[in-house]
Amino acid sequence: MHNKSLTELSAALASGDLSSVELTHYFLDRIDQYDGDINSFVTVTSEQALAMAKQADEQIAAGQAGKLTGIPIGQKDIFCTEGVRTACGSKMLDNFIAPYNATVIDKLGAAGMPMLGKLNMDEFAMGSSNETSFYGAVKNPWDLDRIPGGSSGGSAAAVAARLTPVATATDTGGSIRQPASMCGLTGIKPTYGRVSRWGMIAFASSLDQAGVLARSAEDCALVLGEMAGFDEKDSTSVDRDVPDYTADLAEPLKGLKVGLPKEYFGEGLDSAVEKNIQDAIEEYKKLGAEMVEISLPNTHLAIPAYYVIAPAECSSNLSRFDGVRYGYRCEDPKDLTDMYERSRGEAFGSEVKNRIMIGAYTLSAGYYDAYYLKAQKIRRLISDDFKAAFEKVDVIMGPTSPVTAFKLGEKKDDPVSMYLSDIYTIALNLAGLPGMSIPAGQVEGLPVGLQIIGNYFEESKLLNVAHQFQQATDWHTQSPADYQ
């Protein structure tokens, strides 16, 4: 049951071989059985899930079902969910019960998908390993001594262990693609503005984007089709029709021009990871793709630019958490200033504090031009690099992460090394481009991800390119031994 695709589950529900209540019970039982070791869920919404499943069964019986009606889903705990704690991995919001639904929650609810619960994440989505969560680190189902990637580590671990058929996730600098790579999943970060950010707790507003973590490109296509679309409540939402992302999955790849950036295959890339990526590229050649060497010359500036822009935006966004209106408040404050200082000091974790302080510094008088303005100029150069590349090629490929999943605690005290694990993913967020990671091999039993980058709003092309690879290989069907 837990190894069936969304299409297979949908067919079983439609035929009456399976009810949504039975399916939801099945995954709730798997969460109960396995998640004590993995720590992927922070809240399990059993009653709500079963009530939604019952409603889905009624829709199916009445002939009113959509493609995803009755299929359970896990929601990253960054999306506000009415009546359910939405903590964003932080002590600051541990007592926050959201009074409304994020647009993503509403859309997937309208599609008839029962919500199994809320998934663990790095605090306020700040991290690359899911070790900064107030609720403890998430473990990688492939090896419980290793990290699942971050910040959507809970989403990735839950799908990898087959505790949920699919999960929502968000990506600010690689937080869908990097966990997908490290947990052997397919993850898509759509074009900035393609999916509404309304009700998604902000980290860095010009970079954050919601997406999907699933087992296959086809599964991603089905769920993204329900999530995407214009939302008048989100000022950054793009008013553009949503295509049927499944329509072009079967298109052959003959004549596809694939750009291989020389900057993605140099120093810092683990040699065993590189071999898997090269093997995947050879498979694409067999499928009819043509490889073109390209250059993205400002790639080396992506991480420094990101770690000026993202903290600047986070320092602004997180100023709303002040102990006054909602969230954590310290005990017995002496005055207003004391309440602000102690509430924030006691409730924010060290990574969040570090980024707030960096952001406040770079936005301060005397430093704005030297750091923040310069980083925005670099951002434009990075975007221009991609623009030039897409005049020559259809998609760009390379590794998602320079390494496989590392040990828990291995990089916790080495922020530079931690930040470098996102070296191939960050540039896409700065440019607002869509990107995917798909399973493309293993190194000593640990998954390796291939990153595929597309031009603006070309998610259908990405999904097609990913799907064709998955028709020719079986890496996406493999799962951790203890959860098969």
The pLDDT score that the predictor gives to residue 237 is: 97
pLDDT at 300 over 90: yes
- What pLDDT digit, counting tens, does each position of 353-372 carry? 999 999 999 999 889 999 99
Per the residue annotation, which of 20, 76, 118, 139 is the catalytic one?
A: 76
Residue 383 lies in a domain: no
pLDDT at 130 over 90: yes
Per the residue annotation, which of 40, 128, 151, 479 is the catalytic one?
A: 151
The pLDDT score that the predictor gives to residue 15 is: 95
Whether 15 is catalytic is no
Beta bridge partners of 209: 171
pLDDT at 305 over 90: yes
pLDDT at 165 over 90: yes
State the Cα–Cα distance between residues 448 and 456, nearest whole angstrom.
25
The pLDDT score that the predictor gives to residue 286 is: 98
pLDDT at 195 over 90: yes
Residue 26 lies in a domain: yes
Q: Please state the pTM of the whole predicted model.
A: 0.97
DSSP state of 210: E
State the Cα–Cα distance between residues 340 and 331, nearest whole angstrom.
11
The pLDDT score that the predictor gives to residue 353 is: 97
State the Cα–Cα distance between residues 86 and 452, nearest whole angstrom.
32
What mean pLDDT is predicted for residues 272-297? 98
- What pLDDT digit, counting tens, does each position of 390-410 carry? 999 999 999 999 999 999 999
Residue 382 lies in a domain: no
- What pLDDT digit, counting tens, does each position of 42-67 carry? 999 999 999 999 999 999 999 999 99
- Parent domain of 163: 6-255+393-483
DSSP state of 2: T
Please report, as a single letter, which amino acid is at residue 10: S
Closest CA to 72 of 29, 31, 20, 107: 20
- How many domains, in total, are found in the chain? 1
Per the residue annotation, which of 175, 421, 437, 479 is the catalytic one?
A: 175
The pLDDT score that the predictor gives to residue 421 is: 85
Whether 151 is catalytic is yes
115-124, 153-162, 265-274: which range is least confident on average? 265-274
Percent of the chain with pLDDT over 70: 100
Q: How many CB atoms are closer than 10 A to CB 33?
A: 11
pLDDT at 191 over 90: yes
Residue 309 lies in a domain: no
pLDDT at 289 over 80: yes
138-142, 321-325, 434-438: which range is least confident on average? 321-325
- Which CATH number covers residue 239? 3.90.1300.10
- What pLDDT digit, counting tens, does each position of 339-354 carry? 999 999 999 999 999 9
State the Cα–Cα distance between residues 200 and 358, nearest whole angstrom.
23
Closest CA to 215 of 484, 483, 482, 475: 475
The pLDDT score that the predictor gives to residue 365 is: 86
Residue 42 lies in a domain: yes
What mean pLDDT is predicted for residues 65-74? 97
pLDDT band with cut points at 50, 70 and 90 for residue 416? confident
The pLDDT score that the predictor gives to residue 35 is: 98
Residue 107 lies in a domain: yes
Please report, as a single letter, which amino acid is at residue 24: T
Residue 200 lies in a domain: yes
State the Cα–Cα distance between residues 67 and 13, nearest whole angstrom.
10
Mean pLDDT, the chain, whole residue set: 97
Whether 175 is catalytic is yes
State the Cα–Cα distance between residues 80 and 73, nearest whole angstrom.
15
Q: State how far the alpha carbon of 59 is from the alpha carbons of 55, 113, 384, 392, 394, in Å.
A: 6, 12, 48, 48, 41
pLDDT at 412 over 90: no
Which residue stretches of 214-254 are H helix? 217-227
Residue 283 lies in a domain: no
- What pLDDT digit, counting tens, does each position of 227-267 carry? 999 999 999 999 999 999 999 999 999 999 999 999 999 88
State the Cα–Cα distance between residues 269 and 399, nearest whole angstrom.
8
